[in-house]
Structure 1
Amino acid sequence: MDLMTDKVQMRSRARTKIWLDVSSVWYRNDEGFLTATSTYWGVYLGEEHEDLLLHYDYERDKDLYTEAHIQVAGVHPALERMLGEVGRNGDHMKDLHLPVGGRRLRPSLEDLLESLIAERLLDPKPGHEKILGDSRREYRVKQISALVRSNQETAASVLRETGWDVAKKSEEGFLAGLRRSRKNRS
């Protein structure tokens, strides 16, 4: 399943227009959960969204650099000189992939929007705090759930350390529950 948008002009009192571009690609994993293969959030400036400011990318199973990263457009002469010295002639700041939390701890779209509001680049509508907060909590619960599923021993250990009684279901009971869960989603 792919989600692609056209760049959307955001609300700002500035004369310079600010745009948001969002896209993502999804699949249903072996456990039946909807899972992101890649996501892209770009912030552009200008009359026709021609000037990239920054973009967040998430690309599952990336080889050369971190799966979740930010790339920031800009000019930095010392960095460009250094990139040339290490054989990256013609590369700029926007070509660096700066890590932002990895697969499960990456920022949410709500975090990006909130930062643009805090920097006064966007003019929010009344009530935006609740909407962004509720949506961010929902995103983080899903991320925490996925993190726990892939780190069950660590999660159980931490819960025991904090006073919880934790017992592993029998394999038979777990698989039956998973089958029931998949049936209910269909």
Structure 2
Amino acid sequence: MNGQDTSSLASQTENFYSEICATVYLSVDCDIEDSVFDLLPKVGLSSITVVARVKVDGSPTIRLEASYVLNQGSERLLRVVDSEFHVKLLNESAPLFHYDFVGEARSELPAAHLNIHVSDEPLRALMATAGNRNRAKRRRKREVRGHNSQPAELHFPIGGRRFRPCLEDVVQFLIFELGVDRQLGWWDRVREGRATWKASQTAAAVKDDPKSALLELLRIGVLDEEDYEKAVQRAPEKRADSIEAY
């Protein structure tokens, strides 16, 4: 990357880093345990990590870890390459669950997925009856060698590259489902952040399939037939690799 690209990536990463930190500490009552952003100009990447001790009834109880690997896309816009949101009990090393996005996911692994690390006998029973193919086949081979399969090894797909959960969803889950202490004005912060996220993902989805987007604009009356026909002739073909990805 040239110096101009590096400067642009650094500036965009710093802005994104500020937004992530603000989403956490303006939504839940917490102590920021660690927050780092690194620039890796030789490979054109940057990374962000924010770790917060979230309080319940005034006492730090849950650790929320959010991390991102970023780069610039073809239009020099900041793009998430990978992300992880881990939720842990404060003094435990293993997460209760985590949301992962792996931008260059292997074909058998969903790009966006949820791993659950708590023990659950029905899930274990389901895994024991799984068929002898794909990832289930590899688990069976490990079990023959004495490996005890865990529910945390299952990767639950959650919306793919474009429609995966955002950090604001995890924050609202902590508030609604686990009753963590919230900040005054948290709801506005979460809604605004989620709206910004969905707007960016909607724009990306339009780029994935411009002709479907134009057809919907015709259907709701934004385009008339003549404008639609002209636009659809100029529109690029859909990105099948993105739309069809697991």
**TM-score, reference length from structure 1:** 0.82
Secondary structure of the corresponding residue to residue 155 of structure 1: helix
- C-alpha contact (below 8 Å) 1:2/1:23 kept by paired residues: no
Q: Pairwise mapping of residues 72-151 of structure 1 onto structure 2 (< 5 A)?
A: 72-84=116-128, 86=130, 87=140, 89=143, 90-151=148-209
Note the C-alpha offset of 1:22. 1.1
Aligned to 2:71: 27
Q: Percent identical across equivalent pairs?
A: 24
Deviates more, 1:15-24 or 1:59-68: 15-24
Deviations 1:127-173 (A, max 9, x none): 100011111111110000111111100000011011112453997xx
Note the C-alpha offset of 1:81. 4.4
Amino acid of the structure 1 residue aligned with 2:105: K
Note the C-alpha offset of 1:102. 0.6
Amino acid of the structure 2 residue aligned with 1:105: F
Aligned to 1:56: 99
Amino acid of the structure 1 residue aligned with 2:87: V
Shift of the 11–148 alpha-carbon distance from structure 1 to 2, 3 Å rule, reads same
Aligned to 1:168: 231
Aligned residues: 171
**Corresponding residue to 2:112 among 68, 72, 90:** 68
Secondary structure of the corresponding residue to residue 7 of structure 1: strand
Does 2:73 match 1:10?
Answer: no
Q: CA RMSD in A?
A: 2.3
Q: Which runs of 5+ in 1 are unaligned?
A: 175-186
